[in-house]
Amino acid sequence: MSGYEPLAPALTACGHEGFTGELRIAGSPGGTFHFRDGLVVAVESPGAPGPEALLLRSGRVSGEQWAELVRESGGSRWPATALVAHGYAGAAQLRVVCSMALHDAAFAIVAGRVEGCERALVAEPFAQVPVGEQPARLLREAARKLAAVAGLPHPVRPDRDRPVPASGGRGGNPSALRLELLAHADGRRTARDLSFRTGRGVYTVTVEVARMLAEGLLELPGTPAPLPVLRMSPDGQGVRRRPPPAEPVPPTPPAGTELPRRKPGGFFRIRNGIPK
């Protein structure tokens, strides 16, 4: 198991010591376990979509609405109260989304490569869930999922395999998730990439991709994806040095314009905190 062995002692020690702060995991994809009094209250990883990505990709909240919620919540990273107050999600739904994202990020870290762990003390840990998880139990759950994926007929690594739809493989009545995966599997995206693109958990997508590979709906290209297209500039001279910035051209005074002209002095400067 890729990341299990190096993670287990570090996470267990944080739990036993009642650690409050961050345990930063270096590696690929790596991530951060957030602890409060020895319990894991949030996990973030580039390898798994967080609650924000899940909500935004699901279309439940638009990007503009999210920005407004964050402003309303004083810049909070997770504007849970505002989400509920505006009716975008119920409190129980948010707890489920956060808990799923926490477990999913732990799975992504464990499934990847762990190069080291480093603690960082923070005054107030970032928390996604009100009641934290026992780190040992969280790790066992992630390891169980990893073993389940490895036991599938066509095991898939979340960050390695880049499937494409199988030629002539579509049949039956595929589920909504399978249709989405077929639409976005282009030979460039891993299961991790597909999970972000579709707004689903990386474990869910990894298992589904593995099943679709086994059923012949997806396939892995035998050769690496084609190299990027390279084009020369039309003059064939290749790249040139950036020209030095041009001398500023003095603005020509408008002649006979009827546009209103702003008068100088309409702004004020602040000196030592006092407007002048």
Partner 1 sequence: MDHKALALEMRGLREQVAGVTDTALAAADGLLIAADTADSIDPEGLAALAAAGLGLARRTSEATARGALRRTVTYGSHGCAAFYAVGDTALMVVLGDEGIDVDHLHRATQPALRRIDLILTDRAVDTAVDTAPEKAAEGV
Residues at the contact surface with partner 1, assessed by CB under 8 A: 28-30, 45-50, 52-53, 56-57, 62-63, 66-67, 159, 186, 188, 192-193, 196-197, 225, 227-234, 236-242, 245
The pair of structure tokens assigned to 206 is: 């990894």
Minimum distance of partner 1 from residue 63's CB (angstroms): 3
The CA distance from 204 to 106, in Å, is 13
Minimum distance of partner 1 from residue 228's CB (angstroms): 4
- DSSP string over 8-29: HHHHHHHHHTT--EEEEEEEES
Is the CB of 240 or the CB of 262 nearer to partner 1? 240
The answer to whether the CB of 101 falls within 8 A of the CB of 203 is no
Is the CB of 39 or the CB of 98 nearer to partner 1? 98
Distances (CA, A) of 90 to 38, 66, 83, 97, 253: 28, 16, 8, 11, 59
Minimum distance of partner 1 from residue 224's CB (angstroms): 8
Is the CB of 173 or the CB of 233 nearer to partner 1? 233
Minimum distance of partner 1 from residue 205's CB (angstroms): 13
Minimum distance of partner 1 from residue 201's CB (angstroms): 12
The CA distance from 94 to 88, in Å, is 10
Is the CB of 123 or the CB of 230 nearer to partner 1? 230
Is the CB of 101 or the CB of 146 nearer to partner 1? 101
Which of 51, 61, 55 shows the shortest CA–CA distance to 103? 51
Q: Is 39 left (phi over 0), alpha (psi -120 to 50) or beta?
A: beta
